[in-house]
Homo-oligomer: A and B are copies of this chain.
Amino acid sequence: MTKAKAGSQTVKVWDFIELEWKGPTARNPFTEVKFGATFTTGNRTVRVGGFYDGAGSYKVRFMPDTAGEWRFETYSTVTALTGKAGSITALDPDSSVHGPVQVHTPYSFQYADGAPFFPVGTTCYAWTHQSTKLQDKTVSILKTGPFNKIRMCVFPKDYSYNKNEPEHYVYEGAPGAFDFTRFNPASFAAFEKRIAQLRDLGIEADIIIFHPYDRWGFATMTAAQDDLYLEYLVARLAAFRNVWWSFANEFDLMKEKTTADWDRYFRIVQTADPYQHLRSVHNCRAFYDHTKAWVTHVSVQHSDVERVDEWRSQYRKPVVIDECCYEGDIQHNWGNITAQELVRRMWETTVRGGFPTGHGETYLNPDDVLWWAKGGILRGESPARFAFLRKIMEEAPLGDLNPERVGRLHPVLAKRDEWFLYYYGVRQPSIFDVDLPADANFVVDLIDTWEMKVTRLKGTYSGPTRFELPGKPWMAIRAVRKG
């Protein structure tokens, strides 16, 4: 983030610049003052909502997607914030920066600059609501971990293993006496610090906007309060290139909200977000209708990942399996599968054309710090396997992959005639016949997804070929066209 007064400043493409003006403080600036700025380069204009940051400070954050000069001019319902103009210069991004993640139609993701993106994700719902020390620990673990996406809530969580009060509240006031029309800028500053850290680590922040596990009233605000919150979130967070919008964790458990409410939330964000970050919503049981135009991808909670290709066909959008039970040993069914089973589900997801974003960890420990809720340290055996899966897939021709022959024999993820990935899960064939294209030679690897070993088979292969396998579970075969 480049902090700037109104005037000519520079910012790198896909970073953001924050422009600040002083304005009215009387009554309630959060609800009474409309304010923002337009940014223009050449004949193109981007309209960006601003936000009140307390203490008379009004801000606009802008993330340019194109290098060059951008002229800006503020608009507002108050004179003091109207017509402030100037320009900024957007410079080329660092080579490591690829912009926001977008859908690569129809079934995959890529960065704004066209670089492929294969999401490998985890969940730490309330990690930003823990102590600063614990949050720092979580960041240090994420830094070395395999994940490039994390699911996290704006609001704190009230649930098993989640009984502590947060460090900050989104609203002014205190439990039992919140003012849902006045935001607490300090809470956002702390939250944004973490989003910026994730961004700098190359981790997408899948921001969960609402959720049902609430004792503070955040799940049961009025429609007007919900809408105010959405506008404020977008104004503050959209300039972070790594933001994804997840309208809820388990939307279907929020009984006060109707389908019309969820539709409206999507449309508000779709209209307000200058950058069109990814948008979806996570279910408990019933799915939201992901065919709706404002949904960019399908966020799924489901144990039966063998249905990934069905959902892909049903919704014609990328399918991310954000939850399929976590590795752990608590007694809740959603949090006690083995690492082997979680890894199996994520490979199965992958070869059926979905994305393995369902990591989470729920091991009991004396400190009562479970990764899925609070972050902290990782104790399980699956993260190393997620890293291995990510490495395998980042070597693949992402964007051209489709599951073939699903339902018959084994699923195979393939780029037709060029790249094939067979996965066997708990199946343990000791032979396997593959019909490779006869017009080219393929190099073939035997992959042990649990032992994380890739064994290159001798020679090259072409046409119908019988492979021998070790007769143990969790194996895969990869065949890649060579010249």
- CA–CA, A337 and B429, complex, Å: 8
Chain B residue numbers with a CB within 8 Å of A223 are none
* Stretch among A13-21, A271-279, A325-333, A351-359 lining the B interface: A325-333
Interface SS of A by simple majority: loop
Given A331-B433, A433-B331; A427-B473 close (CB under 8 Å) = no
Asked if A426 CB lies within 8 Å of chain B CBs, one says yes
Asked if A95 CB lies within 8 Å of chain B CBs, one says no
Contact (Cβ within 8 A) B364 A329:
no
Restricting to A421-464, which residues have a CB under 8 Å from any CB of B?
424, 426-433
- CA–CA, A41 and B424, complex, Å: 61
Partner of A426, one of B338, B427, B471: B338
Residue of B nearest to A327 (CB): B428
How many copies of this chain sit in the oligomeric assembly? 2
Interface size for A (C-beta < 8 A) is: 26
Give A252 Cβ to nearest chain B Cβ, in Å.
Answer: 16
Asked if A181 CB lies within 8 Å of chain B CBs, one says no
For A409, A426, A433, which residue has the most chain B Cβ atoms within 10 angstroms? Answer: A426
Residue of B nearest to A411 (CB): B333
- CA–CA, A333 and B433, complex, Å: 13
Partner of A338, one of B336, B428, B430: B428
Chain B residue numbers with a CB within 8 Å of A430 are 329-330, 364
Asked if A194 CB lies within 8 Å of chain B CBs, one says no
Restricting to A41-96, which residues have a CB under 8 Å from any CB of B?
none
Asked if A231 CB lies within 8 Å of chain B CBs, one says no
For A328, A332, A429, which residue has the most chain B Cβ atoms within 10 angstroms? Answer: A429
Asked if A410 CB lies within 8 Å of chain B CBs, one says yes
Asked if A418 CB lies within 8 Å of chain B CBs, one says no
Chain B residue numbers with a CB within 8 Å of A336 are 424, 427-429
Contact (Cβ within 8 A) B337 A409:
no
Contact (Cβ within 8 A) B428 A337:
yes
- CA–CA, A201 and B304, complex, Å: 40
Residue of B nearest to A410 (CB): B333
Chain B residue numbers with a CB within 8 Å of A429 are 329-331, 336
Partner of A331, one of B331, B333, B340, B431: B431
Chain A residues at the B interface, C-beta cutoff of 8 Å: 304, 328-333, 336-338, 340-341, 364, 409-410, 424, 426-433, 471, 473
Report the 9 A-B pairs with minimum CB-CB distance, sorted nearest first.
A329-B430, A331-B429, A341-B426, A329-B471, A336-B427, A336-B429, A331-B432, A338-B473, A329-B428
Known: A336-B424, A337-B426, A364-B431. 5 other contacts (CB 8 A): A329-B429, A329-B431, A330-B430, A331-B429, A341-B473
